[in-house]
Amino acid sequence: MISYPLDELAGALLYFKCENLQLSGSFKIRGAANAVFSLSEAEAARGVVTHSSGNHGAALALAAQMRGMRAWVVMPRNAPQVKIRAVEAYGADISFCEPTLAAREAAAAELLRSTGGTLVHPYDDDRVIAGQGTAALEFLEEIPDLDIICAPVSGGGLLSGTAIAAKSLRPEIVVIGCEPANADDASRSFASGQLEPGSEKFTIADGLRANLSPRTFAILRERVDRIMLVTEQEIVESMRLITEHLRSTVEPSGAVAASPALHRQIEGDELRIGIILSGGNLDPDKIPGQ
């Protein structure tokens, strides 16, 4: 998808990969489906378990439904209602926990013990990373001469898959990870060379609060060129611009990859910038600026 007014605003040629229009409302269906359909029949019979703030949980629930198997999803109590409803609609069993990574992991571990299911981690899983990389593969098949590709970063599954796919096809392409300034652990990890803890600050981009894993951090250090930070105000303004000019709804996390270009952190009249709009599961009752 393209928009000439957004090109003019950004001072570059922008191309949008609209994963907000995907099944389950985000790119997450790619990794979840790849993982679920990679399971043996014996594994599938026992079902799958995960923890998620919402989009991965919904995607895994849908992929499990498509294969005719059970899914158990641990979600934080403060997850957006629109994401809780999506997980429920796809038939998964939800367990709620406190909104911390430790609580999510502990609850998922207990479910693994009690159900015998297989863990499909939101991002620390090679099958999931490979699935997420198909978005970049499709992008570059359609627009092979992109100079830059931008993707959001949280746990690093999408950005890892994007970087592997993009650099394999075009080693010279610049891969940029985009991150809320209020959840900047990836940026700090890049700067220090070691995994840094998550931030305690609030960000409207609820889907980007996870931390990198050793697996994803190693991939990003090898293949990602830069991490760029965006403010909360820039995220909200990017959502508004995308809605206005692309006539497409994105959630805050989905707008983060567009923010650096739309706010001229990246610009150049001849630059061809690919932007992955990662999700569109926006709670209509909590639209910023209403």
CATH number at residue 164: 3.40.50.1100
- In sequence order, the 6+-apart residues with CB closer than 8 A to the CB of 24 are 32, 55, 58, 59, 61, 62, 86, 90
In total, how many domains does the chain have?
Answer: 2
Mean pLDDT confidence for 86-111 = 94
Answer whether residue 286 shows pLDDT above 70: no
In which element (H, E) is residue 49 found? strand 48-51
Q: Are residues 73 and 178 in the same domain?
A: no
Catalytic residue, chosen from 53, 238, 253, 278, is 53
Question: What is the token pair recorded at 158?
Answer: 């999408």
- In sequence order, the 6+-apart residues with CB closer than 8 A to the CB of 33 are 59, 63, 66, 131
Answer whether residue 284 shows pLDDT above 90: no
Give the domain-ending residue among 59, 94, 125.
Answer: 125
Give the domain-ending residue among 80, 97, 125.
Answer: 125
Report the half-sphere exposure of 204 (CA within 13 A, side-chain side): 23
> How would you class 100 by CB atoms within 10 Å of its CB: exposed for 0-12, middle for 13-18, buried for 19 or more?
exposed
Minimum mean pLDDT among 60-74, 76-90, 149-163, 228-242: which range? Answer: 76-90
Whether 250 contacts 144, CB under 8 Å: no
Question: What is the token pair recorded at 87?
Answer: 């997980």
Q: Are residues 172 and 200 in the same domain?
A: yes
Q: Are residues 135 and 116 in the same domain?
A: no
Catalytic residue, chosen from 28, 83, 213, 238, is 28
Mean pLDDT confidence for 142-164 = 98
- Residue 201 catalytic? no
Question: What is the token pair recorded at 99?
Answer: 């909104």
pLDDT at 101: 83
Q: Are residues 199 and 244 in the same domain?
A: yes
Q: Are residues 86 and 205 in the same domain?
A: no
The total of other beta-carbon atoms located within 10 Å of residue 288's CB is 14
Q: Are residues 201 and 221 in the same domain?
A: yes
Whether 176 contacts 150, CB under 8 Å: yes
In which element (H, E) is residue 188 found? helix 185-192
Give the domain-ending residue among 72, 91, 125.
Answer: 125
Whether 153 contacts 196, CB under 8 Å: no
Mean pLDDT confidence for 230-249 = 97
Q: Are residues 116 and 157 in the same domain?
A: no
- Residue 199 catalytic? no
Band the pLDDT of 289: cuts 50, 70, 90.
low
Q: Are residues 17 and 144 in the same domain?
A: yes
Q: Are residues 36 and 105 in the same domain?
A: yes
Answer whether residue 143 shows pLDDT above 50: yes
Answer whether residue 290 shows pLDDT above 50: no
DSSP helix/strand/coil, 174: strand
Give the dihedral sign, CA 157/210/17/178.
negative
Q: What is the DSSP string of 253-270?
A: HHHGGGHHHHTTSS--TT
Report the C-alpha gap between 227 and 246 in whole angstroms: 25
Q: Which domain holds residue 228?
A: 4-24+127-286
Band the pLDDT of 287: cuts 50, 70, 90.
low
Whether 152 contacts 159, CB under 8 Å: yes
- Mean per-residue pLDDT over the chain, rounded: 95
Q: Are residues 147 and 181 in the same domain?
A: yes
Angle at 126 (CA atoms; ends 121, 129), nearest 5 degrees: 80
pLDDT at 283: 72
Q: Are residues 33 and 9 in the same domain?
A: no
pLDDT per position as a tens digit, 17-55:
999 999 999 999 999 999 999 999 999 999 999 999 889
Q: Are residues 47 and 142 in the same domain?
A: no
